[in-house]
A = this chain, B = another copy of it.
């Protein structure tokens, strides 16, 4: 893609910003958004920042019928020194391109996307909340817009970035959650779309989550779709276990999302010289470790929650309470360190931070 001119149209009116204590995840959006169009033969074109506004699409637009879509999630933080920090944003756009490849969506220019995102943040900089635990959640996404009911990759797309000031994803904050191990429903399978951030994976997960919530569990733990033995993810997060001093997370296998928080935790643990292993791990192994008193901690990881400690698993009609249902020491340290690096309160030893003005 050749260098593009980014057009900016500023909003003539400003929306009222929500109070910090009223922030809900993904409900309020800033005054502007980024849009870029794709048409076969023309490529990605017409990149622009415009006032936040509804999308107008034909009812036959493919996104409404065949689910050809991908998305990303990342955050911007305002430091006490009034600097704006982004956490490994290039990783998000690189992953968006991997998702694009799986969904037959044309790739984007990572460098240009990052440049456009920075410009969008500059325009809506006032929207970044400054209170403890808050941030500006950024949602890049691509949708197929061709008005056609044939099942095939679309010839038209929109790449859009919207932004939402957020508090914590989980209202309970870093309080441990209860997780039910899902034994009936599948999120995806080898050869499927599990590794891609695409709508269908999330749509497929709703039913199991709805059932688990009725039983008092906030998320489900997904097992592999083939043998229903090996651990894949928890809710829409990656998952880690601390067993007898060693940290273990399921190895990437094509059906597990390549989490950026996941990768960062592995790198951080290695930097701390804490033993960490990516490998296949079965629910039976976790259960056996629990019975042997060696399951010390468990936690989910993702952009929205960063670290979500797990206080209890429910599997085969048995409750497994971890660390007395309390947040573990390592979970807390990882949360404090990652969020500290993200909001600029502590040093960034692994060079993860991009400053808005870099």
Contact = CB atoms under 8 A, between A and B. Distances in A.
Interface in A70-86: 71
Interface stretch (A39-47, A181-189, A333-341): A181-189
Given A25-B149, A26-B149, A201-B200, A143 B191 contact: no
A14 to B, nearest CB: 18
B184 A191 contact: yes
Interface residues of A, number: 66
A10 interface: no
Contacts of A162: 59-60
A65 B200 contact: no
A202 B192 CA distance: 11
A203 B202 CA distance: 13
A191 B200 contact: no
Contacts of A56: 54-56
A204 B104 CA distance: 10
Contacts of A188: 189, 192
A186 B56 CA distance: 33
A199 B66 contact: yes
Interface string A153-189: 1000000101010000000000000000000111111
Nearest to A191: B186
A107 to B, nearest CB: 14
B192 A198 contact: no
A19 interface: no
Interface stretch (A89-97, A205-213, A288-296, A324-332): A205-213
A137 interface: yes
Max chain B C-beta neighbours (<10 A), residue from A64, A139, A203, A235: A203
B65 A54 contact: no
A345 interface: no
Contacts of A71: 65
B210 A25 contact: no
B148 A65 contact: no
A186 B190 CA distance: 7
Nearest to A235: B151
A121 interface: no
A304 to B, nearest CB: 9
Contacts of A55: 56-59, 61, 64
A249 interface: no
A200 B204 contact: yes
A93 to B, nearest CB: 17
Contacts of A217: none
A69 B203 contact: yes
A69 to B, nearest CB: 7
A33 interface: yes
Of all A-B residue pairs in the complex, the 6 with the closest CB atoms, nearest first, are: A200-B200, A67-B199, A26-B149, A186-B191, A189-B189, A67-B203
24 contacts: A26-B60, A26-B149, A27-B147, A27-B148, A55-B57, A55-B59, A57-B57, A60-B139, A65-B71, A65-B199, A66-B203, A67-B69, A67-B198, A68-B199, A69-B203, A139-B149, A151-B236, A186-B189, A189-B225, A190-B225, A191-B225, A199-B200, A199-B203, A200-B203
